[in-house]
Structure 1
Amino acid sequence: MADITSLLATYDEQMRGAPQNLPAGVTWEQDGPVVRVVGRFRGYVSAPPDVGVLGAELDRLIERQRDYFAARGEAVEWTTRGHDLPEDLPDHLLAAGFTPEDQETILIATASELPAEAVIPDGVRIREVAAAPDLHRIAAMESTVWGQDMSWLGDDLIGRVAAAPDNTTVLVAEADGEVVSAAWMVVSPGTEFAGLWGGSTLPAWRGKGIYRALVAARTELAIARDIRYLQVDASDDSAPILRRLGFHAVTTTTPYVWTPPRP
């Protein structure tokens, strides 16, 4: 039986704070208890489990982040976790004009306890990619899945691979030359963790085991590198699959996003 409290404490200790493997042009800076990341498709604020300020002081901290990115004409995301303190942090973000996006579940598994042999569906090929054209093809597939322009993702992946080729592994699942799904693993240096991202699949190819195959393929890579833990921010669609594979839900995560008003 997994010790959820211990898993969550390890996640908080190792996976929150200044980010690693930043692409060229992306930087971070400290502002009191939080870290803000600048130069992505939108800004990002990383906070500790307990921000450590309350009331008016918390409002000023949030407003500084909002106003910093407002001066740049950029949106900013402040991602909360379900166990974060103070408990009224979401209320203060809402009061500052931030809007919540969909809640996801943070799941963690010990890599060595997961299935590591990918069962690939007939007609599907999984391969590792790093070239810009393939990464742009992934962005095009994601745009189709989500019904919005996600062309920024191609540039983001290109930057990640260029910045840390040993710590960023991108996989595509193809059928008849078409990208039908894609996923990537990002190793966090100095920690016991790698994050599993992506996994979106074209509607016609869902329910065939591609998502599970991509998880298994990345698990195999993680085990080969002696990575202890795999972490996923999972949607309601993905979370049940991951639980069946051996992942454990430790908390939830909700992005709060502020977007500059249209001119």
Structure 2
Amino acid sequence: MRTDDVRDLYDRAMREHARPEGPGVEVERAGPLVRQVGGPDDWNGIVWSDPELNAEGADAAIRAQIGHYTALGHGEFEWKLYSHDRPADLGDRLRAAGFAPEPPETLLVAPVEALTSLPGAGLPEGVVLRPVTDAAGAELMALAHERAFGTDAGRLRHQVLTRLERAPDDFVALVAMADGEPVSSARMELYPGTAFAGLWGGGTVAEWRGRGLYRALVAHRAAVAAERGYRYLQVDATDMSAPILTRLGFTALGTTTPYVYRPAG
């Protein structure tokens, strides 16, 4: 896999020509930027900036986006900054404008075919995978997420229910069940017309970590992606999951840092 070529393909297909993450949101071209705009429970933010963006243009674009999202009344929005974006000091300019950086993630990609038959990817004894197809499944998924990460899953619950209602064919969600309890969950976004499928989630409750659930969920989703004709799996990986995914065969294309703007008051 030629890293530079795949990064260029990713930038064109997934950022410059991004599709809405889900029903009820829109992707708009705003001068040198591409942004997603939705409701307060949707992800709102900048997904791409022109590689030729200079310092003066960056400052103007930042001011324009603050004005745009503030006028919509959103409590926050995000500028998704990649390590190869320009100008080189764009992160400094975002901070100066009031954006707060959150922990960076590693952009990882792997060929689907390399992940469909991972060694040791079987489910642990006593664990079954339940496809999430209804509200009850979404509730189990949210519960697994909250137990794994210790954070509120309200936004996840909203996103899963919306996807199931309006665009179920481009979305795969799973809950791993043990003794009737959700112990892990994961989802996959399919992006029709591109070579990419995106992996999200993969959180496992503490007592079930280290037993191969993460690997099993990756392999299962890779098999589904292969059946649907996708070439690559993509992940925005945390520091916790990046080493695991690298061992499974993923390659880093760079990093991405969420810069979040929250209006004062």
**CA deviation map 1:152-184 (0-9, x unaligned):** 211111112333211111111111121111111
Q: Distance in 2 between matches of 1:3 and 1:89?
A: 27
Unmatched tracts of structure 2, length 5 or more = none
1:98 maps to what in 2?
99
Q: Distance in 2 between matches of 1:64 and 1:13?
A: 23
Q: Distance in 2 between matches of 1:46 and 1:102?
A: 17
Shift, 1:68, TM fit: 1.8
Q: Distance in 2 between matches of 1:136 and 1:68?
A: 34
1:142 match: secondary structure = helix
Q: Distance in 2 between matches of 1:20 and 1:57?
A: 24
2:170 maps to what in 1?
167
Shift, 1:49, TM fit: 5.8
Residues 1:60 and 2:60 aligned together: yes
Shift, 1:18, TM fit: 4.3
Unmatched tracts of structure 1, length 5 or more = none
Q: Distance in 1 between matches of 2:159 and 2:100?
A: 23
2:124 match: secondary structure = coil
**CA deviation map 1:41-94 (0-9, x unaligned):** 2421111361x3322331121121122222233200111111111111101110
Aligned-pair identity in percent equals 43
What residue identity is the alignment partner of 2:56? Answer: A
Following TM superposition, the consecutive aligned residue runs of length 4 or more in structure 1 with deviations greater than 6 angstroms are none
2:45 match: secondary structure = strand
Whether the 8 Å CA contact 1:171–1:184 is kept in 2: the answer is: yes
What residue identity is the alignment partner of 2:188? Answer: M
Q: Distance in 1 between matches of 2:81 and 2:148?
A: 25
Shift, 1:16, TM fit: 0.9
Q: Distance in 1 between matches of 2:66 and 2:229?
A: 40
Q: Distance in 2 between matches of 1:254 and 1:201?
A: 24
What residue identity is the alignment partner of 2:59? Answer: D
Larger displacement relative to structure 2 (41-50 or 3-12) = 41-50
1:196 match: secondary structure = strand
What residue identity is the alignment partner of 1:58? Answer: A
Larger displacement relative to structure 2 (126-135 or 205-214) = 126-135
Counterparts in 2 of 1:24 and 1:250: CA distance versus 1, 3 Å = closer
1:45 maps to what in 2?
46
2:206 maps to what in 1?
203
Q: Distance in 2 between matches of 1:20 and 1:99?
A: 26
Counterparts in 2 of 1:200 and 1:88: CA distance versus 1, 3 Å = same
1:36 maps to what in 2?
35
| TM-score normalised according to structure 1 size | 0.92
What residue identity is the alignment partner of 1:61? Answer: A
**CA deviation map 1:83-111 (0-9, x unaligned):** 11111110111011011111111111111
Q: Distance in 2 between matches of 1:7 and 1:22?
A: 21
| Alignment size in residue pairs | 260
Counterparts in 2 of 1:259 and 1:140: CA distance versus 1, 3 Å = farther
Whether the 8 Å CA contact 1:171–1:182 is kept in 2: the answer is: yes
Whether the 8 Å CA contact 2:102–2:259 is kept in 1: the answer is: yes
| TM-score normalised according to structure 2 size | 0.91
1:15 maps to what in 2?
14
Cα root mean square deviation, aligned: 1.8
Whether the 8 Å CA contact 1:136–1:154 is kept in 2: the answer is: yes
1:122 match: secondary structure = coil
1:84 match: secondary structure = coil
Shift, 1:199, TM fit: 0.5
1:166 match: secondary structure = helix
